[in-house]
């Protein structure tokens, strides 16, 4: 491999090499003299040698992009031969057992384009330290198992930065010379440095109050740029709901006197749970009915909940090392999913979460980036904030919940928080606590943390009419993944039931049981193959498996179409009911050419859709989900070689056929759901808008004047962003002659609102039109776009590369070359974001030879680029590997 001599080969970090810290930091005092171009940071580290550490062992402090101005020990300048500085940081020798190290550094926040460490966003100072950003602020043992009490003083110009925030509580403040002022903050809870935060700037805020279950009063603040002050109410209401929910469901109370949230426009990820001072990507805070869609409202509630829940699952109990990331992320995603399910519709939430998992995580698990929920090596840890660690990690916790039941699960969580409060621990400690609290063994279950890949569950059934027994044989198999050729069998909870020919649920008596135990139960598959025999079954039943999607596996069961139709009409588990309909549609889409998807062939699906549309008793949101055809990304998981145009063509053909076959029904449903009252983001209202906009989406597929008029009318009269954007999207993806005019109108109306402009960019990037690549290329030069802002990169470039398969995978290879070039440019400024965009190339082996060559060429160019970042190198190298 031809790497430039000046680019050191990235180092791989292994879980097996973990060593506890040799030195502890008991307390740290930080003093910031804030200036966008030259910020001075003075740090006072109260260190202590760990008991197990031999005297003479040097203290290693991580540091990156820092200018060292001075270093002293216990008040005396440190001699030059007592420390050594290199790219990785600072090594200090011959230290006493305890003492005080004082280090002064200079950093340049305004020049920090990586958005890791201390940087500026819209002229305000903010930080992002997880995973390894703190080392870009000052020299420090930047690892989560070093926990210290932080006291932070911020000094800044008072007119530029009237607001000065850090973790914990303000303990002192005052005026300084030259129009500067200061505030000192103290965080009483020891924490790893990845939870450190500071914010300084000219911000407005809203305030509220929450009284905890035990009567503690907590002041709540949301800080934003002043022009956004009218978009904070939903976030605040969500925060209060989250605080209440964690008390009710987990018995967890908040522990400081204040909880602060700050929204910034430039942020690599979604949000960050810094102790007492969460920093958010503004897209997960700001909402007003005319600027945010229903799904924005949902996401805000979910992410606000997520970061709040981290206060216990992440902050009070944190991770020993970054291999344990899912300890906090998997658990916290599970917690936020359940919170959202309780606040809205449980069925809709579950189907949404399963969709994300199966479309994105299954794909990751089947490709070269596959890794266990607990990875065992990495080059750049930021590459492992993945759907596997987050979403599959949440499924693993969900399975524990399913296997133990809610009470035992809660007992186990109580034990975990009690045992490990104030500690940095491992996923094993979590499972141990669940075991200990309930006297059970989860030995085999631990495979879910260590083995990558999506297990396949194959089901064979046998009905014996003489004996009136029904046997289900379950067999599991997990494909090989990089570095793991053979796998141990998993412990798989299979929630199931049986239905008779009329769709009625049957009582379930397993062989050897005296009587039936309910109509839904959880089978535990632990061997490679097991058979479960049900008794008293008078006629061949229809089995229902994986209710609630009880395990993250692929199910193979040879359902007859009539059985799927029966389940899609009668099953009461929302996931299995929806899944039956999706399976019917998927079979049509994958086994017939687009032009065959008409007439007789699709009649059963048409009837099922008609039935769903008319089923007034069914929640409109569930009806909308059932009437939405499986996505192209999900369908791609079922073919050997992905032909994007073919999948897209089939899906479009079926959508058009359903549109025409049910035209009066779509229209009637659309009209019946017309609403006039004020906007509310609640689940019921959002569900009605979702179904109505889905009707519009089918109607526009008819491509006629009446449909265009309907969409144009909705665009003009919409009073909320959900309806406005749905109409715009329908028009942009149609041949309506006014498409361009409406797009222009939207931009001129919203150009001052950066989050709305993001929607405008995404819409164009995902449009299924032949000129989309040209348009996306042109938009990179539009004033609305900037490579400096991650949201813009995600809205335009990632939306195109990962949300527009037909455009990106264009046979000419132009899409690959364009995105590859953007990634290389971006890598020099923001490696984390560049690496995330590069994921679009990871699955290159799934395409035909011409596409493989085009994608591989880009990966090689990225990997071999002079000065390539660790982040991008790792993605490219693993993908090619």
Closer by beta carbon to Zn ion, 278 or else 332? 332
**Do strands 169-175 and 124-128 pair parallel, antiparallel, or not at all (unpaired)?**
unpaired
Binders of Zn ion among 301-330, rule CB under 5 A? Answer: 329
* 3 state SS for 468-480: CEEEEEEEEECCC
- Examine residue 33 and say whether the peptide bond preceding it is cis (omega within 30 degrees of 0): no
Instruction: Confirm if 10 and 380 have CB atoms less than 8 A apart.
Output: yes
Which of Zn ion, ligand ARG, none does 296 bind, CB closer than 5 to 8 A by kind?
A: none
Which of Zn ion, ligand ARG, none does 189 bind, CB closer than 5 to 8 A by kind?
A: none
DSSP character string of 216-229: -EEEEEEEE-GGGG
Contact residues: ligand ARG, CB under 6 A:
130-131, 268-269, 271-273, 306-307, 329, 382, 385, 832
Neighbours of 714 (CB within 10 A): 21
Buried residues in 351-380 as b, exposed as e (16+ CB within 10 A)? bbbbbebbbbbbbbbbbbbbbbbbbeebbb
144: closest CA among 413, 379, 416, 328?
328
Which of Zn ion, ligand ARG, none does 385 bind, CB closer than 5 to 8 A by kind?
A: ligand ARG
Q: At its nearest, how many Å lie between ligand ARG and the CB of residue 791?
A: 15
Q: At its nearest, how many Å lie between ligand ARG and the CB of residue 837?
A: 15
Q: Where are the beta strands (DSSP E) in 257-368?
A: 258-264, 271-272, 277-281, 318-319
**Residue 246: both structure tokens together:** 């964690």
DSSP character string of 149-212: EEEEEEEEETTT--EEEESSEEEEEEE-STTEEEEEEEEEEEE-GGG--EEEES-EEEEEEEE-
Name the helix (H) or strand (E) containing 665: helix 663-672
Eight-state DSSP code of residue 88? T
- Backbone torsion region of residue 115, taken as left when φ is above 0, otherwise alpha when ψ lies between -120 and 50, otherwise beta: left
The neighbouring-strand residues paired with 42 are 31, 104
Closer by beta carbon to ligand ARG, 296 or else 307? 307
Identify which range of 331-339, 464-472, 548-556, 606-614 contacts Zn ion by CB under 5 A.
331-339
Which of ligand ARG, Zn ion, none does 382 bind, CB closer than 5 to 8 A by kind?
A: ligand ARG
Instruction: Give the list of residues 6+ apart from residue 462 with CB closer than 8 angstroms, or none.
Output: 470, 471, 473
Task: Phi first, then psi: give them for residue 279, nearest 5 degrees.
Answer: -115, 130
Q: At its nearest, how many Å lie between ligand ARG and the CB of residue 306?
A: 6
Residue with structure tokens 């605040």? 236
Q: At its nearest, how many Å lie between Zn ion and the CB of residue 586?
A: 32
Helices within 552-643 (DSSP H only): 561-570, 574-591, 599-614, 620-627, 632-635
Instruction: Give the list of residues 6+ apart from residue 108 with CB closer than 8 angstroms, or none.
Output: 36, 37, 38, 39
Closer by beta carbon to Zn ion, 182 or else 194? 194
The active-site residue out of 130, 301, 307, 338 is: 307
Q: At its nearest, how many Å lie between ligand ARG and the CB of residue 797?
A: 18
Q: At its nearest, how many Å lie between Zn ion and the CB of residue 329?
A: 5
Which of Zn ion, ligand ARG, none does 727 bind, CB closer than 5 to 8 A by kind?
A: none
Q: At its nearest, how many Å lie between ligand ARG and the CB of residue 116?
A: 6
Told to judge if 307 belongs to the known catalytic residues of this protein, a careful annotator would answer yes
* Rounded-to-integer distance, Cα 300 and Cα 281, Å: 10
Closer by beta carbon to ligand ARG, 131 or else 695? 131
Q: At its nearest, how many Å lie between ligand ARG and the CB of residue 568?
A: 35
Closer by beta carbon to Zn ion, 329 or else 619? 329
Instruction: Confirm if 765 and 800 have CB atoms less than 8 A apart.
Output: yes
Q: At its nearest, how many Å lie between Zn ion and the CB of residue 134?
A: 17
**Residue 336: both structure tokens together:** 């936020």
Closer by beta carbon to Zn ion, 119 or else 194? 194
Q: At its nearest, how many Å lie between ligand ARG and the CB of residue 570?
A: 39
Instruction: Confirm if 846 and 641 have CB atoms less than 8 A apart.
Output: yes
* Rounded-to-integer distance, Cα 275 and Cα 169, Å: 11
Which of ligand ARG, Zn ion, none does 187 bind, CB closer than 5 to 8 A by kind?
A: none
Instruction: Confirm if 193 and 134 have CB atoms less than 8 A apart.
Output: yes
Closer by beta carbon to ligand ARG, 272 or else 855? 272
Cα angle, residue 33 at apex, residues 27 and 39 outer, rounded to 5°? 105
Instruction: Confirm if 292 and 282 have CB atoms less than 8 A apart.
Output: no
Q: At its nearest, how many Å lie between ligand ARG and the CB of residue 5?
A: 29
Q: At its nearest, how many Å lie between ligand ARG and the CB of residue 270?
A: 6
Closer by beta carbon to ligand ARG, 329 or else 843? 329
Instruction: Give the list of residues 6+ apart from residue 100 with CB closer than 8 angstroms, or none.
Output: 44, 45, 46, 47, 73, 74, 75
**Residue 197: both structure tokens together:** 């935060």
Q: At what angle do helices 721-732 and 683-700 cross, to 10 degrees?
A: 20
Q: At its nearest, how many Å lie between ligand ARG and the CB of residue 131?
A: 5
Query: Quick check: helix, strand or coil at residue 252?
Result: coil
**Residue 602: both structure tokens together:** 């699709």
Closer by beta carbon to Zn ion, 330 or else 681? 330
The neighbouring-strand residues paired with 150 are 28, 187
* Rounded-to-integer distance, Cα 295 and Cα 287, Å: 11
Closer by beta carbon to ligand ARG, 269 or else 788? 269
Closer by beta carbon to ligand ARG, 389 or else 742? 389
Closer by beta carbon to ligand ARG, 187 or else 632? 187
Closer by beta carbon to ligand ARG, 246 or else 573? 246
Residue with structure tokens 């011959």? 94
**Residue 12: both structure tokens together:** 């791989």
Give me the active site residues, please: 307
Residues that bind Zn ion (CB under 5 A): 329, 332
């Amino acid at each position: 491999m031809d790497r430039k001599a000046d680019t050191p080969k990235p180092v791989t970090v292994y879980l097996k090499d973990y060593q506890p810290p040799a030195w502890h930091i008991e307390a740290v005092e930080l003093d910031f003299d804030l200036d966008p171009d030259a910020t001075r940071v003075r740090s006072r580290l109260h260190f202590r040698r760990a008991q197990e550490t031999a005297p003479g062992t040097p203290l290693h402090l991580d540091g990156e992009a820092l200018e060292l101005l001075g270093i002293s020990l216990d008040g005396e300048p440190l001699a030059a031969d007592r420390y050594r500085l290199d790219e990785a940081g600072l090594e200090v020798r011959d230290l006493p057992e305890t003492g005080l190290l004082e280090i002064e550094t200079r950093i340049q926040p305004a020049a920090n384009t990586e958005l890791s460490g201390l940087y500026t966003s819209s002229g305000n100072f903010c930080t992002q330290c997880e995973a390894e950003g703190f080392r870009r602020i000052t020299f420090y043992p930047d690892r989560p198992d070093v926990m210290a009490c932080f006291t932070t003083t911020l000094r800044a110009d008072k007119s530029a930065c009237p607001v000065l925030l850090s973790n914990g509580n303000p303990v002192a403040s005052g005026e300084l010379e030259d129009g500067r002022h200061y505030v000192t903050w103290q965080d009483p809870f020891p924490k790893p440095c990845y939870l450190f935060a500071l914010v300084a700037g000219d911000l407005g805020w809203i305030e509220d109050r929450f009284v905890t279950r035990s009567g503690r009063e907590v002041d709540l603040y949301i800080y934003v740029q002043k022009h956004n002050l009218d978009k904070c109410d939903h976030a605040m209401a969500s925060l209060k709901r989250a605080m209440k929910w964690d008390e009710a469901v987990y018995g967890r109370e908040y522990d400081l006197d204040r909880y602060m949230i700050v929204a910034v426009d430039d942020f690599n990820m979604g949000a960050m749970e810094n102790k007492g001072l969460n920093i958010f990507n503004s897209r997960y805070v700001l909402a007003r009915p005319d600027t945010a869609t229903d799904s924005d409202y949902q996401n805000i509630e979910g992410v606000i909940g997520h970061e709040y829940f981290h206060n216990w699952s992440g902050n009070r109990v944190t991770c020993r090392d970054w291999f344990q990331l899912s300890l906090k992320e998997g658990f916290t995603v599970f917690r936020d999913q359940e919170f959202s399910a309780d606040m809205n519709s449980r069925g809709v939430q579950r189907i949404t979460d399963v969709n994300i998992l199966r479309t994105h995580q299954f794909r990751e698990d089947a490709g070269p980036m596959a890794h266990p929920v607990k990875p065992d090596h990495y080059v750049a840890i930021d590459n492992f904030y993945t759907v596997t660690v987050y979403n599959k990690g949440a499924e693993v916790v969900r399975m524990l919940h399913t296997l133990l039941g809610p009470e035992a699960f809660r007992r186990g969580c109580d034990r975990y928080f009690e045992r490990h409060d104030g500690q940095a621990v491992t996923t094993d400690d979590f499972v141990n606590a669940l075991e200990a609290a309930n006297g059970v063994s989860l030995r085999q279950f631990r495979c879910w943390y260590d083995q990558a890949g999506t297990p396949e569950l194959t089901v064979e059934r046998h009905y014996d009419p003489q004996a009136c027994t029904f046997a289900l044989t379950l067999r599991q198999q997990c494909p090989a993944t990089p570095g793991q050729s053979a796998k141990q069998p998993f412990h798989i909870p299979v929630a199931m039931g049986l239905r008779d020919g009329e769709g009625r649920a049957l009582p379930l008596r397993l062989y050897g049981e005296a009587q039936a135990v309910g109509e839904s139960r959880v089978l535990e598959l632990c061997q490679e193959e097991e058979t479960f025999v049900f008794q008293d079954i008078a006629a061949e039943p229809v089995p229902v498996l994986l209710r609630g999607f009880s395990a993250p596996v692929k199910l193979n069961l040879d359902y007859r179409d009539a059985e799927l139709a029966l389940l899609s009409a009668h099953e009461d588990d929302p996931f299995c009911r929806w899944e039956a309909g999706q399976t019917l549609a998927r079979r049509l889409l994958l086994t017939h050419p687009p032009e065959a998807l008409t007439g007789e062939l699709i009649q059963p699906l048409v009837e099922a859709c008609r039935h769903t549309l008319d089923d007034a008793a069914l929640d409109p949101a569930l009806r909308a989900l059932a009437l939405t055809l499986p996505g192209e990304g999900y369908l791609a998981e079922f073919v050997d070689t992905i032909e994007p145009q073919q999948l897209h063509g089939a899906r479009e053909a079926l959508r058009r056929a359903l549109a025409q076959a049910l035209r009066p029904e779509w229209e009637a449903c659309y009209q019946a759901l017309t609403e006039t009252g004020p906007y509310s983001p609640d689940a019921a209202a959002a569900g009605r808008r979702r179904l109505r906009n889905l009707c519009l989406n089918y109607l526009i597929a008819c491509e006629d004047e009446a449909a265009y008029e309907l969409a144009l009318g909705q665009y003009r009269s919409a009073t909320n962003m959900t309806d406005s954007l749905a109409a715009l999207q329908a028009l942009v993806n149609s041949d309506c002659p006014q498409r361009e005019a409406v797009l222009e109108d939207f931009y001129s109306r919203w150009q001052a609102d950066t989050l709305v402009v993001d929607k405008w960019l995404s819409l164009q990037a995902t449009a299924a039109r032949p000129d989309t690549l040209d348009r996306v290329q042109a938009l990179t030069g539009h004033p609305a776009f900037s490579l400096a802002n991650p949201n813009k990169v995600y809205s335009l470039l990632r939306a195109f590369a990962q949300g527009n398969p037909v455009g990106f995978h264009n046979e000419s290879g132009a899409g690959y070359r364009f995105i590859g070039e953007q990634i290389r440019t971006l890598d020099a400024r923001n490696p984390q974001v560049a690496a995330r965009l590069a994921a679009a190339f990871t699955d290159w082996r799934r395409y035909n030879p011409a596409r493989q060559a085009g994608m591989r060429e880009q990966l090689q160019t990225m990997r071999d680029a002079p000065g390539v970042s660790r982040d991008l190198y790792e993605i490219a190298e693993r993908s090619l590997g």
